[in-house]
Amino acid sequence: MNNGSAKLNYLLVMPRLIQKAGDGYSFPLGIAYISSSMKEAGYNVKTLNLNHVQGDVAEIITQQITTHGIDVVATGGLSFQYNTIKSIVAAAKQVNGNIVTIVGGGLITGDPEPAMEALEYVDYGVIGEGEATIAELCSTVESCGSPDGVAGIIYKREEQYITTDRRKERDNIDTIPWPDYEGFGLSEYLRSAPPGISGMNKQNVIFMLASRSCPFNCTFCFHTIGQKYRQRSLDAFFKELDYLVGKYKIDFICLADELFAKDAERMSEFCGRIKQYNVHWWAQFRVGSTITPQLLTMLKESGCEVMSFGLESASNHILKSMRKHTTVEEIEATLQMVYDAQIAIEGAFIFGDIEETYQTATTTLEWWREHLEYKINLNLITVYPGSYLYKYAWAQNIIEDRVKFLKDGCPQINVTKMANADWAALVRDILEAPMNMVKTLTVVTLHGTDYSTGRVDMSGCCPVCDHETCWPSIKLFATNTLSCAKCGQKYNISLPPQLRANIESNMTKLVEVYDKVAIWGINYHTADLFKNSAVLQGEHIYPIDISATKRNMDLYGKKIYSPDVIDTMDVKIVIIAIPAYLTQISSQVKTNHKNVLDIVDICLLVDPDFGVRATAGA
């Protein structure tokens, strides 16, 4: 272990998750924990949060390395961040091939060897919980010792990958230093509004952990920081919260635990202690007997604003296959209690389990349609490295090449026993369900549009109760539904005709400039755009998706292509239709399709002047 006299300079890099500096994102705690542990061990650590710096990643990394004389560059994240993480380590090696590169997180832990091969420029991968491992690895690097004795890593020796012994997970997680909030610019972060979690369209949101891992082992899950569920003592948690509240303005806490708590006693004590802080909070819960009206009263009074549940299916057969250890009856009872307690519900059904059939999926869709008041999202299962489904898909040769699968962005695949054509037809039903089963609020009033971020302020009158609701800063192409503030009725968000006309006008001008235009990412919003659009149905428009399942569908007669069409048809511009994955898809396009000249967020196309600027730039 280093004794505080560090000889090397380290750069810890938080990968970019946003489109431009100032956008909101969910603060990744993992690398912040690594930073604090390294600093506590005495290493000379510089930190860089790419979400707070505008510009080319390679140029930023180069500047940091040369300015600070960096010897070691470390970063990490999840599998879907592969391209952005690779760009960081590639940039480091291009500055100086002798720079040591280290990557950790779920990307490495899920399936270490394919990840190392795909990343190419990584010297050491950290597997599992990384705080103790990184400190020991850095000590070994500084002393030029053998890495064989460092548990929990993977590295390459003479064209062979060496994986050392598994590192035991830390039992007492109270001993782990608090995340290095300051090192990654928490003050600046708090001025943004994190997307993607109900009730969090606000600033001053802090992410914290009260536990690690999860006591359950669902087939679609992978616990990146260990299989053993460990909880911090509440004394330790609230000591950290005291520090954060004392130093920053905190209005909302997101408990980023996979499972907030498994017993009512801990939840009750937590409620009693957090109540005095007068903050609102969000956490992930589990349906079942732990949730009672008495507990819900305490949660409500303590400031719990959103309860998130992993629902997954309304078929008991599928829940059993997923190893959820929950039932539809428990889902129904829990959600009804939470709804009656007037606490916001967040949850999703995910389709595509091994045992999924047209009938089981239809059962779930019918249940969803009968309970629209709960605002449950509909998604497809993504097979992430490390999960049981991933291992099953590899064993069954559904995933033929694990390295390519990672490079392709872990595309949605068919692991059901259904024929691909039948599965594709079911996916179409799921994709169109919000359009076919949810009422559409067709008359809305726009009060303002931020063309640079694709956010709009709008209002509309509920046809059920006549209440006028205002919805501020709605992210276009990211928000599936809107809810009446009075009666809770759920509505599709129909893209206002003015903005739809702007998009079609801009697409027409882009075709004039570039001849061919690719639109990457097929979801509910994309389907809605293509429906009844003569412009998007034109021969010069190429809809793209990495999922072979979606490519077995069509968009109202329009073929969906693989990304290969970009090169075969020499497409020079790509419109990214799913803003939440803009950074990841952009990196994939830049890496794999070198002839593309422009990559554009579809949100920018609502600007009536966008096409004019594009024409002028040509």
Identity of residue 380: L
Look at residue 197 in the predicted model and tell me its pLDDT.
Answer: 56
Quick one: 198 and 297 in the same domain? yes
Confidence at 140, pLDDT banded by 50, 70, 90: very high
| Most confident of the ranges 106-120, 422-436, 455-469 | 106-120
Quick one: 345 and 211 in the same domain? yes
Quick one: 322 and 467 in the same domain? no
What's the whole-number average pLDDT of the chain?
92
Look at residue 477 in the predicted model and tell me its pLDDT.
Answer: 84
Q: Confirm whether 14 is domain-assigned.
A: yes
Quick one: 14 and 40 in the same domain? yes
| Nearest one of 23, 102, 47 to 603, comparing CA atoms | 23
Q: Confirm whether 376 is domain-assigned.
A: no
Q: Confirm whether 419 is domain-assigned.
A: no
Of 9-13, 28-32, 211-215, 553-557, the one with minimum mean pLDDT is 553-557
The dihedral formed by the CA atoms of 512, 518, 524 and 529, expressed in degrees to the nearest 10: 10
Confidence at 291, pLDDT banded by 50, 70, 90: very high
pLDDT tens digits, one per residue of 397-443 = 999 999 999 999 999 999 999 999 999 999 989 988 887 777 777 77
Look at residue 492 in the predicted model and tell me its pLDDT.
Answer: 76
Find the domain containing 612 and state its range.
497-617
Q: How large a percentage of the chain has pLDDT more than 90? A: 75
Quick one: 59 and 147 in the same domain? yes
Look at residue 1 in the predicted model and tell me its pLDDT.
Answer: 39
Quick one: 475 and 506 in the same domain? no
Burial label, 476 (beta-carbon count in 10 A; 0-12, 13-18, 19+): buried
pLDDT tens digits, one per residue of 305-335 = 999 999 999 999 999 999 999 999 999 999 9
Report CA-CA distances (Å) from 107 to 132, 415, 592: 18, 21, 19
Quick one: 17 and 64 in the same domain? yes
Quick one: 104 and 211 in the same domain? no
What is the domain count for the chain?
Answer: 4
User: Residue 198: pLDDT above 80?
Assistant: no
Average pLDDT over residues 465-479: 84
Look at residue 524 in the predicted model and tell me its pLDDT.
Answer: 84
Average pLDDT over residues 31-45: 97
Confidence at 12, pLDDT banded by 50, 70, 90: very high
User: Residue 187: pLDDT above 60?
Assistant: yes
Average pLDDT over residues 239-257: 96
Q: Confirm whether 421 is domain-assigned.
A: no
d(CA 111, CA 119): 12
Quick one: 482 and 501 in the same domain? no
Question: 156 CB contacts (<8 Å, ≥6 apart)?
Answer: 116, 123, 162
User: Residue 5: pLDDT above 60?
Assistant: no
pLDDT tens digits, one per residue of 546-585 = 999 899 888 888 999 999 999 999 999 999 999 888 888 9
Q: Confirm whether 426 is domain-assigned.
A: no
Task: Find the DSSP H helices in 248-292.
Answer: 264-274
Q: Confirm whether 375 is domain-assigned.
A: no
Q: What is the CATH number of the domain that holds 142?
A: 3.40.50.280
Look at residue 199 in the predicted model and tell me its pLDDT.
Answer: 46
350 within 8 A of 324, measured Cβ to Cβ? no
Q: Confirm whether 43 is domain-assigned.
A: yes
Quick one: 473 and 560 in the same domain? no
HSE (side-chain half, CA atoms, 13 Å) at 609:
4
Quick one: 445 and 510 in the same domain? no
User: Residue 482: pLDDT above 70?
Assistant: yes
Average pLDDT over residues 99-118: 98
User: Residue 539: pLDDT above 70?
Assistant: yes
Average pLDDT over residues 244-266: 94
State whether residue 221 is helix, strand or coil: coil
Average pLDDT over residues 608-612: 80
Of 20-29, 281-290, 376-385, the one with minimum mean pLDDT is 20-29
The Cα diameter of the chain in Å comes to 72
Q: Confirm whether 53 is domain-assigned.
A: yes
Identify the domain boundary among 322, 356, 390: 356
- What DSSP letter does each residue of 425-494 carry, written as one string? HHHHHHHHHHHHHS-EE--EEEEEEETTTTEEEEEEE-TTT--EEEEEEEETTT--EEE-TTT--EEEEP
Q: What is the CATH number of the domain that holds 564?
A: 3.40.50.720
In this predicted model, which residue has the larger pLDDT, 479 or 415? 415
Q: How large a percentage of the chain has pLDDT more than 70? A: 96
377 within 8 A of 480, measured Cβ to Cβ? yes
Report CA-CA distances (Å) from 531 to 9, 312, 346, 435, 528: 55, 28, 29, 11, 5
Look at residue 612 in the predicted model and tell me its pLDDT.
Answer: 64
In this predicted model, which residue has the larger pLDDT, 203 or 585? 585
Quick one: 476 and 526 in the same domain? no
Identify the domain boundary among 356, 384, 413: 356
Average pLDDT over residues 230-254: 96
Q: What is the CATH number of the domain that holds 218?
A: 3.20.20.70
d(CA 323, CA 355): 12
Report CA-CA distances (Å) from 78 to 107, 169, 211, 488, 507: 5, 19, 19, 35, 33
User: Residue 450: pLDDT above 60?
Assistant: yes
Look at residue 27 in the predicted model and tell me its pLDDT.
Answer: 94
Identify the domain boundary among 337, 356, 375: 356
